[in-house]
Structure 1
Amino acid sequence: MRQATSKVRTLVAGIAGAVLLVGVTAASAQSTGIASCDEFLTKYDACVGSRIPEAQRAMYKTQIDQTRKAWIDMAKNPSAKASMEATCKQTIDATKASLTAYGCSF
């Protein structure tokens, strides 16, 4: 009985982890509608997930989630959307320097 309970707990924990991962991935996959911005967000996510030390990852993920949300909101406004290519380029240029130390390239 004890072994069966342990197996059920392990299964439930695995399912909960998978559901959480799907939720995070779906949030990360939201498109801004601007190809260069989306490409940067994808590369940033890959860099943070593979090269940033675990202890610092949450900070970087929070920053990019805030940027992604701001860009998605901007893209909803037709007058702001027109300037997004330049906004994304400025962010990419500013971010390159800080992530180069980790071996990330954009």
Structure 2
Amino acid sequence: MSMRRALPLLHVAGAVLLTIAVAGPARAQSTGIAACDDFLQKYDTCVTSKLPEAQRATYKAQLDQTRKIWVDMAKNPSAKSTMEGTCKQTMDAIKASLQSFGCSF
């Protein structure tokens, strides 16, 4: 391929990469409950910034599963009323286990 033909492709590829970098990762789905969303954000920050690379996938999978369960629970009005307490209890239980990695909640 000649340089003249390759140059437009390089511009398109650069524009796509710039768009991805500026947009950032997709925003995680909210539960609609402040205590739960706060915990999930802090947990995610801890996992991505403090945990060793070899352990991140396991913790990230747990985070994703917890988020999905909580988002589904929040759709049920009777479950939603108890979720704030559940999320606070979960944060208290998990934060102790993550302190050894230097995470603070």
Q: Count how many residue pairs are aligned between Structure 1 and Structure 2.
A: 96
Unmatched 5+ stretches in structure 2: none
Corresponding position of 2:59: 60
What amino acid maps onto 1:60 in structure 2? Y
Runs of 4 or more off by more than 2 Å in structure 1? 1-5
CA-CA distance at 1:79 after TM superposition: 0.1
Higher gyration radius (CA): 2
Superposed counterparts of 1:84-103, under 5 Å: 84-103=83-102
Identity of aligned residues (%): 64
Measured in 1, the distance between the counterparts of 2:57 and 2:81 equals 31
Give the RMSD, CA atoms, in angstroms.
Answer: 2.4
Corresponding position of 1:42: 41
TM, length-normalised to structure 1 = 0.77
Unmatched 5+ stretches in structure 1: none
TM, length-normalised to structure 2 = 0.78
Summarize the Cα distance change of 1:65–1:2 in structure 2 as closer, same or farther, 3 Å threshold.
farther
